[in-house]
Each structure stands twice: as structure tokens, then as C-alpha cells.
Amino acid sequence: MYRKFIGILVFMIIGGLFTGTVYSADIKIGSVDMQRAVNECNAGKEAKKVLIKEAEKLQHLIAEKQKEVQEMRESLEKQGLMLTPETRVAREKELQAKVRDFQRWGEDHQNEFNQKRIEQERNISIGLIKVVQEIGAKEGYTLILQKSENIVLFASKATDLTDQLIKAYDVQKQ
């Protein structure tokens, strides 16, 4: 009885190994680095150029507003001894309000800029995902994973479809 049980168990294990080999031949897995695809596709490069121009404009506006605040601060320091205590306190409050307004303005514009960047990346990613799905269906992939340090710890270059994705996406967007 014991020998029969061992024989069946060994047969099942060997049968499982052969079955696993047969099934694994049908599995085709790929991987894509979506962040690299977003950055390197033509739409991503163009979006980056637009964002850089906007960032430069924003930096110029920030510099102007900083200059205004600095001039106001220097004026208060120069005239400080000549001003009445009430006028000095009023000017200091005015300066503090200007600084607070500048900080809020800067945060608002930074948040707006970040939202634009995120929205552009999201729109490009949606298009890239559609192309990944087309590649997967067309070329018979069982699974295409998104490369991420936290999810995919290793993926062979042979399974990397990122370059193919970028080319296909760029062709589709022309």
C-alpha cells in the first residue's frame, strides 16, 4: 500500500513537470518601462518642451515678485528710523501681507504647473496603454508587465517592449 502511494505520488510529480513544461511554452511575457516611454515618445518630448517654457515664464514672474518684496523690505529698512511708530507698524504689516500673498501665489502657480504636468503625463500614458494592449493582442503576449522598482525586480532585455512601444505610439500619433 505504501509503495503504491509513493508510486502514484512520483507519477503525479513527474506528470506535473511535463505538463508545466508544455504550458510554459505557450506563455509569452513582456515588460514595459512606462515612465521611460512617456519621457522618450515624441508627445512626451513635446510636452516637456512646453512645460520648460512655462517653468521659465514662472521663474521670471517669481523673480519679479521677489524683487518687489525685496525693494519694499529695503525701503522699510532705510526709512525705518524716520517713520513714526504707527507708520512703521503699518508698513511692516503691509510687507508681511505682501510676503504671504507672494508665497500663496507661488504655491498656487506651482500646484497649477504640477497639475498640468501630471495631466499631460496621464494623457500620454492612456495612449501608451492602448498601444501596449494592441501589441499584446497582435503579437500573442500572455502578459505584459509595467516595469517598476517595487513590482518587477528583474526583467530581461529580451522581454522589454519599451522601444517597440515608443515607436508604435509615435507612428500612431503622426
Q: pLDDT tier at 25 (50, 70, 90 boundaries)?
A: low
Model pLDDT for residues 77-102, shown as the tens digit of each residue: 888 778 888 988 888 899 899 999 99
- 3-state class (DSSP) for residue 154: coil
One-letter amino acid for residue 157 of the chain: K
> How far, in Å, CA of 31 to CA of 47, rounded?
24
Angle 148-150-155 (CA atoms, 0-180°, nearest 5)? 50
Model pLDDT for residues 114-131, shown as the tens digit of each residue: 999 999 999 999 999 999
Instruction: Specify burial of residue 136 (Cβ count, 10 A radius: 0-12, 13-18, 19+).
Output: middle
Instruction: Specify burial of residue 124 (Cβ count, 10 A radius: 0-12, 13-18, 19+).
Output: buried
Print the domain residue range for 159: 27-173
| Per-chain mean pLDDT for the chain | 85
Q: Is residue 97 domain-resident?
A: yes
Q: Is residue 75 domain-resident?
A: yes
Q: What pLDDT score was predicted for residue 100? A: 94
Which residues touch 54 (CB under 8 Å, ≥6 apart)?
113, 116
Q: Is residue 135 domain-resident?
A: yes
Q: How many domains does the chain have?
A: 1
- 3-state class (DSSP) for residue 80: coil
Q: Cell 510676503 maps to which residue?
A: 99
Q: Is residue 2 domain-resident?
A: no
Q: Is residue 17 domain-resident?
A: no
Is the predicted pLDDT of residue 13 greater than 70, yes or no? no
Q: For 151, which DSSP code?
A: T
Cβ-contact 87, 43 below 8 angstroms:
no
Q: Is residue 14 domain-resident?
A: no
User: What size, in residues, is the chain?
Assistant: 174
Q: Is residue 19 domain-resident?
A: no
Q: pTM for the complete prediction?
A: 0.70
Cβ-contact 32, 136 below 8 angstroms:
no
Please give the C-alpha separations between residue 88 and each of 33, 70, 73, in angstroms, as whole numbers.
59, 16, 12
Model pLDDT for residues 31-62, shown as the tens digit of each residue: 999 999 999 999 999 999 999 999 999 899 99
> How far, in Å, CA of 53 to CA of 67, rounded?
21
